[in-house]
Amino acid sequence: MFSSPQTFGARPAFASAYKSVGAATSIEGASPHKLVSLLYAALATEIASARGAIARGDVPEKLRAVSKAIRLIDEGLKAPLDLRAGELAQNLHDLYEYMIQRLTLANLHNDDAKLAECAALTQTLREGWDGIAEQVHAAPVTAAA
Protein backbone atom coordinates (compact mmCIF):
# COMPACT_ATOMS: atom_id res chain seq x y z
CA MET A 1 0.00 0.00 0.00
CA PHE A 2 2.85 2.39 0.83
CA SER A 3 5.82 2.81 -1.44
CA SER A 4 8.36 2.98 1.35
CA PRO A 5 8.26 3.07 5.12
CA GLN A 6 8.85 6.42 6.74
CA THR A 7 10.80 6.80 9.92
CA PHE A 8 9.25 8.70 12.79
CA GLY A 9 9.92 12.41 12.49
CA ALA A 10 11.13 12.24 8.88
CA ARG A 11 9.80 14.90 6.55
CA PRO A 12 8.00 13.62 3.49
CA ALA A 13 9.75 14.58 0.26
CA PHE A 14 6.76 16.58 -0.92
CA ALA A 15 6.98 18.86 2.14
CA SER A 16 10.55 19.79 1.27
CA ALA A 17 9.63 20.31 -2.36
CA TYR A 18 6.69 22.50 -1.37
CA LYS A 19 8.90 24.57 0.92
CA SER A 20 11.46 25.01 -1.89
CA VAL A 21 8.78 26.16 -4.33
CA GLY A 22 7.43 28.59 -1.74
CA ALA A 23 10.88 30.04 -1.13
CA ALA A 24 11.61 30.35 -4.84
CA THR A 25 8.26 32.06 -5.42
CA SER A 26 9.00 34.56 -2.63
CA ILE A 27 12.38 35.42 -4.14
CA GLU A 28 11.38 35.73 -7.80
CA GLY A 29 10.75 39.35 -8.65
CA ALA A 30 11.41 40.53 -5.09
CA SER A 31 12.99 43.93 -4.62
CA PRO A 32 16.41 44.14 -2.98
CA HIS A 33 14.65 45.46 0.11
CA LYS A 34 12.33 42.45 0.21
CA LEU A 35 15.27 40.05 -0.26
CA VAL A 36 17.02 41.45 2.82
CA SER A 37 13.75 41.19 4.72
CA LEU A 38 13.53 37.51 3.72
CA LEU A 39 17.13 36.98 4.89
CA TYR A 40 16.31 38.47 8.30
CA ALA A 41 13.24 36.23 8.55
CA ALA A 42 15.27 33.14 7.65
CA LEU A 43 17.98 34.14 10.14
CA ALA A 44 15.40 34.50 12.92
CA THR A 45 14.01 31.06 12.06
CA GLU A 46 17.42 29.41 12.14
CA ILE A 47 18.34 30.99 15.47
CA ALA A 48 15.02 29.82 16.92
CA SER A 49 15.72 26.32 15.57
CA ALA A 50 19.16 26.33 17.20
CA ARG A 51 17.66 27.41 20.52
CA GLY A 52 15.09 24.65 20.36
CA ALA A 53 17.78 22.13 19.46
CA ILE A 54 19.87 23.14 22.47
CA ALA A 55 16.83 22.77 24.72
CA ARG A 56 16.21 19.26 23.35
CA GLY A 57 19.88 18.28 23.33
CA ASP A 58 19.73 17.76 19.56
CA VAL A 59 23.35 18.42 18.62
CA PRO A 60 23.07 17.70 14.86
CA GLU A 61 20.11 20.07 14.48
CA LYS A 62 21.87 22.76 16.54
CA LEU A 63 24.92 22.48 14.32
CA ARG A 64 22.81 22.64 11.14
CA ALA A 65 20.80 25.66 12.31
CA VAL A 66 23.80 27.64 13.60
CA SER A 67 25.79 26.87 10.45
CA LYS A 68 22.93 28.06 8.27
CA ALA A 69 22.46 31.20 10.38
CA ILE A 70 26.16 32.02 10.02
CA ARG A 71 25.97 31.51 6.25
CA LEU A 72 22.89 33.74 6.01
CA ILE A 73 24.77 36.52 7.78
CA ASP A 74 28.12 36.03 6.07
CA GLU A 75 26.99 35.35 2.51
CA GLY A 76 23.58 37.00 2.43
CA LEU A 77 23.81 40.08 4.61
CA LYS A 78 27.49 40.94 5.09
CA ALA A 79 29.02 40.07 1.70
CA PRO A 80 26.96 42.51 -0.39
CA LEU A 81 27.76 45.50 1.83
CA ASP A 82 29.67 48.26 0.04
CA LEU A 83 32.08 49.36 2.74
CA ARG A 84 32.98 52.42 0.66
CA ALA A 85 29.40 53.63 1.03
CA GLY A 86 29.98 55.04 4.48
CA GLU A 87 29.71 54.56 8.19
CA LEU A 88 26.38 52.71 8.17
CA ALA A 89 27.74 49.93 5.94
CA GLN A 90 30.83 49.59 8.15
CA ASN A 91 28.71 49.49 11.31
CA LEU A 92 26.49 46.79 9.84
CA HIS A 93 29.57 44.83 8.76
CA ASP A 94 30.96 45.02 12.30
CA LEU A 95 27.62 44.02 13.83
CA TYR A 96 27.34 41.03 11.49
CA GLU A 97 30.89 39.98 12.43
CA TYR A 98 29.95 40.23 16.10
CA MET A 99 26.84 38.10 15.53
CA ILE A 100 28.89 35.46 13.71
CA GLN A 101 31.29 35.33 16.66
CA ARG A 102 28.42 35.01 19.15
CA LEU A 103 26.75 32.28 17.09
CA THR A 104 30.03 30.39 16.89
CA LEU A 105 30.53 30.60 20.65
CA ALA A 106 26.89 29.64 21.28
CA ASN A 107 27.41 26.57 19.13
CA LEU A 108 30.67 25.65 20.82
CA HIS A 109 29.35 26.03 24.38
CA ASN A 110 25.63 25.22 23.90
CA ASP A 111 24.95 28.74 25.14
CA ASP A 112 21.32 29.75 24.76
CA ALA A 113 22.03 33.23 26.15
CA LYS A 114 24.27 34.03 23.18
CA LEU A 115 21.60 32.73 20.81
CA ALA A 116 19.00 34.86 22.59
CA GLU A 117 21.26 37.88 22.14
CA CYS A 118 21.55 37.17 18.40
CA ALA A 119 17.79 36.66 18.18
CA ALA A 120 17.22 40.06 19.80
CA LEU A 121 19.73 41.76 17.49
CA THR A 122 18.10 40.11 14.47
CA GLN A 123 14.66 41.25 15.63
CA THR A 124 15.89 44.84 16.04
CA LEU A 125 17.52 44.82 12.61
CA ARG A 126 14.42 43.26 11.05
CA GLU A 127 12.06 45.79 12.62
CA GLY A 128 14.24 48.67 11.49
CA TRP A 129 14.55 47.27 7.98
CA ASP A 130 10.83 46.58 7.68
CA GLY A 131 10.16 50.04 9.11
CA ILE A 132 11.77 51.73 6.11
CA ALA A 133 9.90 49.63 3.54
CA GLU A 134 7.36 52.34 2.76
CA GLN A 135 10.10 54.92 2.19
CA VAL A 136 12.13 52.56 0.01
CA HIS A 137 9.21 51.58 -2.17
CA ALA A 138 7.96 55.18 -2.45
CA ALA A 139 11.35 56.50 -3.57
CA PRO A 140 11.33 57.72 -7.15
CA VAL A 141 13.15 55.53 -9.62
CA THR A 142 15.61 57.40 -11.78
CA ALA A 143 16.65 56.07 -15.15
CA ALA A 144 20.32 55.87 -16.04
CA ALA A 145 21.20 58.39 -18.69
Task: Give the pLDDT confidence score for residue 142 in this predicted structure.
Answer: 56
Which top CATH class is 33-133?
mainly alpha
Give me the phi and psi of 62, to 5 degrees please: -60, -45
Rounded Cα gap, residues 93 and 86, in angstroms: 11
The residue ranges of every structural domain in the chain are 33-133
Which pLDDT band holds residue 76 (cuts at 50, 70, 90)?
Answer: very high
Kindly report, residue by residue over 23-43, the tens digit of the pLDDT: 444 566 678 889 999 999 999
- Residue 45 pLDDT > 70, yes or no? yes
* Stretch 71-80: mean pLDDT: 96
pTM: 0.77
